[in-house]
Each structure stands twice: as structure tokens, then as C-alpha cells.
Amino acid sequence: MNAFQLYFRLIQISLLSRMQYRANFIVGLLGLIVWNLVNLGLIGILITQFTRLKDWTLWELVFLYCLWILGYSLYGLFFSHTTQMEDYLIEGTFDQFLLRPASPLIQVLGREFQYVEIADALFALTGISLAYTRLGLHWDGWRWGFFVIAVVAGAVIVLALNLLIACTAFWTGRSRGAFIVVRQFHGLVQWYPIDIFGNAFRAIVTGLLPVAFINYYPALMLLNKLDYTSSGWWLGYLSPVVAVLMVGLTASVWHFAIRRYSSSGG
């Protein structure tokens, strides 16, 4: 079996076990929709006091938010359980992956398929199409292409970041705290345009933890907000490159981490 076949076989098995919790599926869909509505509500309440946040109008902010959620849902569908790596390590489940004659990465990734994330995807697509009409956007073929690439790049950046953090558990035994930090980062960087924050913060989310490339920079390009006279305009196109770099970095850290792994038993 090649890697892909193995992956889909594993997904199939996990879906079968998930079928036990059918009521949970409905609750899960509703839960995610409520979660998204609340997030947009929080932005909306602030905006009703004004017409805009710096240069961003309400529908531009909706677009910004939904671009993140769309990328995130793509990540979440296939990879959301990377956040559970520490449980695998602490409980010793990870030993199973190493003992079986297949790539541990494929086995970890194939462990679950988070189908409730479909709710996120639908929510985001609705939001983006509403914003598209309200803002009177007319993308040409090239922009549509970039939109698709940006969403995939966003998903890849989220995945790479989460895997990197999961890898810290190989050293520290725990990664939950790190995930909390990243989630809080998302709560700020992905909801608000980062130009409202200070320069140090912008440098961090661009260079160190490149979460601004998940939605902010591509949104600048897609919403025609790029200022071509400024020195950093090319950042709007950079997210696919960042995604590729992140994958390379993550893959090498992962291989290094695995070699270091010693079981906790259990």
C-alpha cells in the first residue's frame, strides 16, 4: 500500500468508529456555527460604533475572518487532531505508530477526520460570497486562482505551525500551553487587521510566527488593498512561499524529534 492508500484506509476506519456518536455530529455542526457567529458578532458590535476599523469596513473584516475560517476548516477536516500529540506521547500511544511498518506521520494524520469542520467551510463560503457581492468585487481568473492557492496555503501554514508545536511535546512532554498561545494568536491576528497593532507585534506575526500570512496578507491582495508604492507590497503575494518554507522546516523538525523520542511507557 502506498502512503495515500494507507491514509484513506485509516480515515475510513476512524469514520466508522465516529459513527457511534451520531447525535454528536448535529451538536458539533451547530456548535461551530454558533462559535463563528459569535466571533463575527464581537467584531460587528465594535464596528457598529463606527463605520470602519482603521481602513477596514465591516464587510472587509467579514472577508478577512472568513478567509481564515476557510483555510482553517481545510486544515481541521484532515489534521485537527495534531493538537492531541501530547496525549499520544504521554499515554504511550505513540509507540504503536513506531512499531507498525508504516510512516508514523501518515499514521498520526490518518487517525481522524473531523467532519464537523464542514460547518466551518460552509460558514466561511457564505461569508465570503456575501462580502464579495457587498464589496462589489470583480476578480479576474488570476485572482480566483490566487484565492484558491491562498486558502490552501493558509491551511498548510496552520498545519505546519501546529505540527511544529506538537513536536515541542517530544522535548517538554506537553504542548497544550503552546497550543493555547497559538489559539490566542489566531483570536487576534485573524480577527483584526494587524495594522492596528504596534510594529513589534506585526514583525512577530510576519516573521517569527507567520500567522499573518494565513489571511491578512492574502486578503490585502484580494481586496485590492495593497499599496504598491510601499516597500512591503510583495508580502501580499508571499503566502504560498511561506507555506512551502514552513512545510520544509516542519518536516525536518519532525524527523529530528522522532529520533529523539523515548517512550513514557503506559
Partner 1 sequence: MRVFWAFARQSFQTTVIYRFDFWLRVSTILLLMYSIRWVWVALYAQRPSAFGVSLEQMVTYGVLSMAVLNLFYSFGVQYYISEQVRSGAIDLDLLKPLDFHIHMLARSAGEMLFRLFIMIIPAILCGYLFFGLQPPVTSLAGLLFAVTLLIGYLISFHLGFLLGTLSLVTLEVHSIDWAFDALMRLFSGQLVPLWLFPGVLGTLAALLPFGSLLATPLSIYTGVLRGDAILPAIALQLFWLAALALISRWLWGRVQAGIVSQGG
Q: Which residues bind partner 1 (CB under 8 A)?
A: 21, 23-24, 27-28, 30-32, 34-35, 37-39, 41-42, 45-46, 48-50, 52-54, 116, 168, 171-178, 180-181, 184-185, 188, 192, 196-198, 201
Host H or E run for residue 14: helix 3-18
**Counting every residue, how long is the chain?**
266
Minimum CB–partner distance for residue 21 and partner 1 (Å): 5
Of 1 and 196, the one with the shorter C-beta distance to partner 1 is 196
Minimum CB–partner distance for residue 192 and partner 1 (Å): 6
Minimum CB–partner distance for residue 31 and partner 1 (Å): 4
Of 72 and 147, the one with the shorter C-beta distance to partner 1 is 72
Of 143 and 202, the one with the shorter C-beta distance to partner 1 is 202
**Cα–Cα distance measured from residue 19 to residue 23, given in angstroms and rounded to the nearest whole number:** 9
CB atoms within 10 A of CB 235: 19
Query: How many degrees, rounded to 5, is the angle at CA 46 between CA 40 and CA 49?
Result: 135
Minimum CB–partner distance for residue 116 and partner 1 (Å): 6
Minimum CB–partner distance for residue 225 and partner 1 (Å): 16
User: What Rg do the C-alpha atoms of the chain give, in angstroms?
Assistant: 20
CA within 13 Å, CB half, 106: 14
Host H or E run for residue 202: helix 199-203
Of 120 and 146, the one with the shorter C-beta distance to partner 1 is 120
E-state strands within the chain? 52-53, 56-57
Minimum CB–partner distance for residue 94 and partner 1 (Å): 17
Of 112 and 156, the one with the shorter C-beta distance to partner 1 is 112
Of 30 and 241, the one with the shorter C-beta distance to partner 1 is 30
CA within 13 Å, CB half, 10: 22
**Cα–Cα distance measured from residue 205 to residue 37, given in angstroms and rounded to the nearest whole number:** 25
**Would you state the cell numbers that stand for residue 180, as one nine-digit string?**
493555547
